[in-house]
Amino acid sequence: MKETIENLTPLAHAAQNRCFGCGPANATGLQLEFLLAEDGSVVCLPTVPDRFEGPSGYVHGGIIATLLDEAMSKAVRASGRTSMTRQMEIDYLRPVPSGAAIRIEGRVVRSEGRKHWTEAKIMNAKGTALAQGKGLFIEIRSR
């Protein structure tokens, strides 16, 4: 991970949120906690439990996609907008170990109206990229 001291602020979310990725009210979910960096990107520092494995010792590919999707979504949310995934592309670079500390970063690259283009990556403790993604998120309006 980064050895420099970072100024990260917790990114608030609804207490009764049942989201599989970040919802504290979802006992079977990942319960990811995101932090806001000074540059507007989001950071998550989880250790993914082995119950989310594919091959023994490694995180399932669908969970890796979920981690990247969550980081990209939270990057849009950090600007006060709620969005949903329209399109997502994932590059699985190296296996992501379960039970080990990882770092996930997400950021908005460009916005046009309700469209937000994003990117995210997962890194190991040494800073090596394990997976990365790009996505298009569409801002949703409240009902």
Instruction: List the catalytic residues.
Output: 69
Task: Write the single-letter amino acid at 95.
Answer: P
Rounded Cα distance between 117 and 51, Å, is 31
Show the tokens assigned to 118.
Answer: 């994003």
DSSP string, 80-125: T--EEEEEEEEEE-SPPBTTSB-EEEEEEEEEETTEEEEEEEEE-T
Rounded Cα distance between 135 and 13, Å, is 21
